[in-house]
Amino acid sequence: MKKQNDNSNIATVYIGIGANLQNPIKQLKQALDTLNTHPELKIIKTSSFYRSVPMGPQDQPDFINAVCQLETQLSPLALLDCLQTIEKQQGRVRKAERWGPRVLDLDILMYNQEEIHQERLIIPHYGLRERNFVILPLDEIAPNLQLPDGTLITSLAENIEKQGIERL
C-alpha cells in the first residue's frame, strides 16, 4: 500500500542528504532509492548532486549533497525516526563528534511551514540559512519556497557564498 487517497494530512517536506564516506554518490543514490520505495514517503523532486568542502574538520573527504522534496503523512518525529533508521541501515554510526565524516546524513530541512523546537528536532533545520550545500540544491528544486518567517530561498541563494561548492 503506497498511499491513502486522503490528502488532508499530507505534508510537504524537504530533506537534506549528505555523505563523504564509502562512495558518497552511491550512498546518496541508495538513500534516494530507499526513500522512494518507502510505503509512507513519495519523492516529488530531487536536486542535482553537489560536491562541497567539509564544514568542520578539513582532514576529511569532500561531501556529496543533495536535497529532495517529498510528501508524507508521517509526523515530524516519526519521519525523523524513519530517516535515522535509513542512516543506520546504510552503516551510519552516530558519534559525539559534530561535522565529522559520515556514511550518510539525512536531515529534515522543512516540514510544511511548521516551526518545531523540540529536544530531538528543530525545524526549519538550524543550519539551513548558512549552508550553501543546502540552499543551492533547495533553490534548484524549489526557488519559490519560503521559510516560515517569509524569507525566500532564492534570496538566500543569491547572497550565499558559492566558493567550495560544485554542482555535479
The model's pLDDT over 69-94, given as tens digits with 9 standing for 90+, comes to: 999 999 999 999 999 999 988 876 66
pLDDT value of position 101 = 74
> Of 51, 107, 131, 139, which is the active-site residue?
107
Q: What is the mean pLDDT of residues 120-125?
A: 94
Note if 107 is an active site residue: yes
The confidence band for 2, taking pLDDT boundaries of 50, 70 and 90, is very low
| Strand duo 50-52 + 116-117: pairing | unpaired
Catalytic residue among 92, 120, 139, 167: 92
**CATH, domain 11-167, list 1.10.260.40, 3.40.800.20, 3.30.70.560, 3.40.50.300:** 3.30.70.560
Judge residue 46's burial from the number of C-beta atoms within 10 Å of its C-beta, 0-12 exposed, 13-18 middle, 19 or more buried: buried
Annotated catalytic residue, options 62, 94, 102, 139: 102
The pLDDT value given to residue 59: 76
Catalytic residue (one of 33, 51, 59, 105): 105
CA 142 to CA 14: how far, in whole Å?
A: 10
The reply to whether 92 belongs to the active site is yes
